[in-house]
Amino acid sequence: MDIYAERASNIRRTWVLVFGFLIVVIAVGYGISWYYGNPAILYIAVVIAVVTNFYAYWASDTLVLSLNRARPATREEFFDFYTVAENLSMAAGLPKPKLYVIDDPAPNAFATGRDEAHAVVCATTGLLSMMTRPELEGVIAHELSHIKNRDMLLMTVAVVLAGFVAIVADIFLRLSFWGGGRRDDNGNGNALLLVLAVVGIILAPLAAKLIELAVSRRREYLADASGVLLTRYPEGLASALQKIGSYTTPMQHTSLATAHLFIGDPFGAKSGGSSGWIERLFSTHPPIPDRIKALLGPKA
């Protein structure tokens, strides 16, 4: 499959996963409203989800930069970072994003912001000191591709929905300990539907998290492919990923809430080679060797 076909395939699969996310949220709201016999709960759940998403959309860049202790990058201090971002932004037809750095020796980078006009690209000082210019171009092209492909919006929605489902499920389980719930005319609960509703609500946060992680992994493959289309030099990004993947020390300040945004796992690459299927299932990033193979072909 060529790189254009892979990009189209990943876009279709991502939208399927996002719609699956919305179904999970609606199902959780419906299950809780049925359990308490109050349809208003479903409407309240949907309203809260929309309001939360709206806030996260407008404030995503500020929140992410604050969580990761980032500071603005100046042209004088980080000349290569600045000029590479300028040149690639022009090539991609994008406004130059705001540039930030994180004082951390681990090589990593991410993009955030609500749209192309309010985008941010952030890199660690470790990445900027470790990469050659072609490697840095590969990383920046990857991050600009996240901006171009509107990945930031999709991932913000995915993360907020996953968190929303987990919070609602936790509230439901705590309230259920106090009794209550739907009853039929004889005063007895419908045991089968009750069990299904409770089990479904317990499993919903897990399902939501898995969908979020799947979306994140798909977007990384797509950004890799799109970045190569921009630089026309897959070896640059592949070499950068190799360096990122060989660095096993976690970043000094990490957050599960923003881990999926980074080009590499901020908790450090796993030593010992390939991981098992369970570890891959719960990973925020696809394995580095798989990404390099997708860039360079089976011989990589």
Catalytic residue numbers?
143
Task: Tell me the C-alpha distance between 6 and 226, whole Å.
Answer: 10
Return the biggest CA–CA distance within the chain: 77
Q: Helices then strands (H, E): number in the chain?
A: 10, 4
Helix (H, G, I), strand (E, B) or coil at 123: strand
Give the DSSP H or E segment for 113.
strand 109-113
Closest CA to 165 of 20, 12, 2: 20
Token pair of 283 as six digits: 């990973």
Task: Tell me the C-alpha distance between 170 and 180, whole Å.
Answer: 16
Task: Tell me the C-alpha distance between 27 and 196, whole Å.
Answer: 12
Token pair of 152 as six digits: 């930031």
Helix (H, G, I), strand (E, B) or coil at 184: coil
Calculate helix-pair angle for 191-231, 234-245, nearest 10 degrees: 130
Torsion of the alpha carbons at 22, 27, 33 and 35, rounded to the nearest 10 = -160
